[in-house]
Each structure stands twice: as C-alpha cells, then as structure tokens.
Amino acid sequence: IKTQVGIIGAGPAGLTLAIWLKKNGIEAVIIERQSRAYIESRVRAGLLEQNTVDIFKDLGVADRLVDEGLEHHGVYLSFNGKRVRVPFDELTGGRKITIYGQQEVVKDLTEAWLSSGGKIYFEAQAEKIEDFETNNPKIYFQHEGEQGVIDCDFAMACDGFHGLGRKTLPKESYTEFTHTYPFSWLGILAHVAPSSEELIYAYHENGFALSSLRSEEVSRLYLQVDNDDTLENWSDERIWEELAIRLGTEGWELKSGPIFEKSITPMRGYMIDNLQYGRLFLAGDSAHIVPPTGGKGLNLAVADVKHLVDGLVDFYKNNSMEALDGYTKTALKRIWRAQDFSNFMTALFHKQEEHGSFQYSMQQAKFDYIAISKAYATTIAENYVGLPFEAFE
C-alpha cells in the first residue's frame, strides 16, 4: 500500500490525525490491531478540554458531541466532606470542559473517516517499522493471515502505551521517565442519574473518589484502591457504600443504581523526551502516560496531533522539515505541564499518609488555600480546562 502518511492505531490520536490530514489534502492509511467493535466499546476517559472540542468542531466531526456532550462550567473539589466549587467562567474567561465518553469520540471519528473514503485495516497488527531514517519508511503488518506493507513518507505511531512505535525508537535517542503511584483506580459505569451535575474530586481518609457522568441516565464513578486489589473484593454494595462515604457532604446524597461496567486501572506517569527519529513520530499514549486525575490523557493525544498536522502541512507545502523537527520541543511543553498538573491533582486528593502526618497536613493546607485564594483557584481552573495552544508557542 502506497500512501503519504502511514498511521498505526485507530485511537483518538490516529483517527484525528488521519481526518485532519485529509482536510489538508494529505493522504493517510490506518492499521489497527483490534476490531471496529472492540475499539468502539472500550470504556476509558470522558473529559474533553475546550481545545479538543474546538478541534473536533473545526474538523466537522462534532455533531453528536454538540448534541449529547454535557458542557460544564465548574468543578467541585472536596476534602473531608467540605466542598468548594471552582467556577471556570469567571476564572478562565469563559472556557469550559465537555463530558463525552471516549468510545463515543472513537465511534464518531471512525464513522467520519470511513464515510469520507478513508481506509482502516482492522485486526491488522503492525510488526515492524523500517527505513524511517530514509525518506521512505515502511510499516509491515499482518492482516487476515497475510503480510502487508505500508510504503509511506512518514510513519506515525499512534499505537498507545503498549504499541510498537516507542519500542522501535533507537534506545540511545531518548531518556525515559517513570513515576509509579502506590494506588489504582476502580472505575464503574452505572444506570443511575448523576447525583451531582458537575464532577466532584474528593479526598477522604479512606481514599480518593471521583463522581463523573456520561449522560442524564448514566453515572461514571471512581475509587482509589490498592495496587494489588481485585474486582472480587468489590461487590456492588461495597462500591456504593464506599463512594457514599468518600463523596459525602452535609445535605447531599449519592444515588446508586445497577453497575454495568467495572475495571481497575493502575496509575502511572511516564515520559520520554524525544518523540521523533527521522521520519518516525510518536503521538498520544505511545509517548506519554499521565495519571488520570484531571482527565488529561485523551486531550494530550489530540494536542500532539495538532502539532504533527502543523508540521506535515508545512512539509507538503514548503518541502521543509523545520516544523516537524520542532515537534518534540513544542509538544513536550504541554505534556510536562499536564504531567505536573495531573501529579498535583493526584497528590492533593489521594490518601497517602495518615491524618496528622506532614504529607497529610500539606494536602489540607493546599485545599484550604483554594477556598481563600482566587489566584490559586485560577491556577487549577486554567490547567483543568486546558491552556490555549498560543500559551506554549
């Protein structure tokens, strides 16, 4: 298969990249190791920053997102049952977030790409990327028992944390940073109206809890659990009990309902400091993982793609690698900012050491400061809704 840009992975990064390139008259082909049904039902993130929604609108893929997504103009932060609201409108000049499930994003993007004539090879696993130090990289893959090859100008690894792209980068071309957290998240989806219209991030002596939602009928909630904990330890009854304790505040009640999805995700921070080698580029989770507190993962993937598209458009217009060669530097500024913010939110709201300890008292001091300082609340709000692209240019 001959194309201009070969893309590995039909997650948010790969699909957005393909659609955006096509708008600019640049050809791309996607290979995806899973089936279409699998990627469209994989439950993950749900928080879209303003930047991400604006990009999807510009690309013409946001009809359902505009209809069904829920715009939020503030967020609740809670510490030992005391709740404060951080209002975005007043602190960020009217920026906001939208709640819309990642699998809905993936459905919309897949549909848009395929109906515009784009090609995705599903159940096609990339096995080798070669010649990326030349002008003509090749991606070898297995599909329906046969070997295929994408012969392209650029190889884009949008293949997630366990993908092939990062493993293919020469080891000496990057430094790796890993930060592990001593806890995981148990996430559920339940058929019950959300008990709070806006999200609640809560610190409690028993651990962190997050109240989110997917629609007026479906709630999404998370609990901090131990890294070695298993779903067998968590009956539906115990989950609801624990959520009610951790999220509780005077005069408010958590509604419960049938749980239809349960999973445990470990938390980690992961970075590499180089996202390019010759004509092989990495975007999204293939290059970085942030802990989920703050909802940055999907948004970072889309932001990486923006910088890649800028570079590729410049290349095909002006035959210059200059913008593409600056991709790592530009993207890393936002990625490190998100890594820091996600770490900040994680450290602030998760149970780490006992009440009365130094660590705990620092968490309490930070939380108390949010309620009395507009400057501090603004710092949280502007990071949470996502800084504009111009801020990093």
Strand ranges (DSSP E) for the chain?
5-8, 28-31, 47-48, 70-72, 74-79, 82-87, 97-99, 120-121, 124-130, 138-143, 146-151, 154-157, 176-191, 200-203, 209-213, 218-225, 259-272, 276-277, 280-282, 288-289
Vertex 296: Cα angle to 186 and 379 (nearest 5)? 115
Identify whether the C-beta of residue 184 lies closer than 8 Å to the C-beta of residue 229: yes
Nearest approach in angstroms of CB 289 to ligand DHB is 12
Nearest residue (CB) to ligand FAD, 14 versus 74: 14
Q: Of these residues, 100, 121, 174, 201, which one is catalytic?
A: 201
Is 188 one of the binding residues for ligand FAD (CB under 6 A)?
no
Q: Of these residues, 12, 22, 72, 327, which one is catalytic?
A: 72
Distance between CA 292 and CA 338 in Å, rounded? 10
Sign for the pseudo-dihedral over CA of 313, 318, 321, 325: negative
Q: Which of 32, 153, 242, 310 binds ligand FAD (CB under 6 A)?
A: 32
Q: Of these residues, 204, 288, 296, 351, which one is catalytic?
A: 296
Q: Which of 6, 46, 74, 137 binds ligand DHB (CB under 6 A)?
A: 46
Is 284 one of the binding residues for ligand DHB (CB under 6 A)?
no
- Residue 384 a catalytic site member: yes
- Give the interface segment with ligand FAD, choosing from 25-33, 111-119, 333-341, 377-385 (CB under 6 A): 25-33
- Give the interface segment with ligand FAD, choosing from 39-47, 76-84, 188-196, 354-362 (CB under 6 A): 39-47
Give the other-Cβ count within 10 Å of 356's Cβ.
8
Nearest residue (CB) to ligand FAD, 260 versus 369: 260
Q: How many CA atoms are closer than 13 Å to the CA of 48, on its beta-carbon side?
A: 27
Is 110 one of the binding residues for ligand DHB (CB under 6 A)?
no
Nearest residue (CB) to ligand DHB, 199 versus 348: 199
Which spans of this chain sit near ligand DHB (rule: CB under 6 A)? 45-47, 199, 212, 220, 292-295
Q: Enumerate the active-site residues.
A: 72, 201, 292, 296, 384
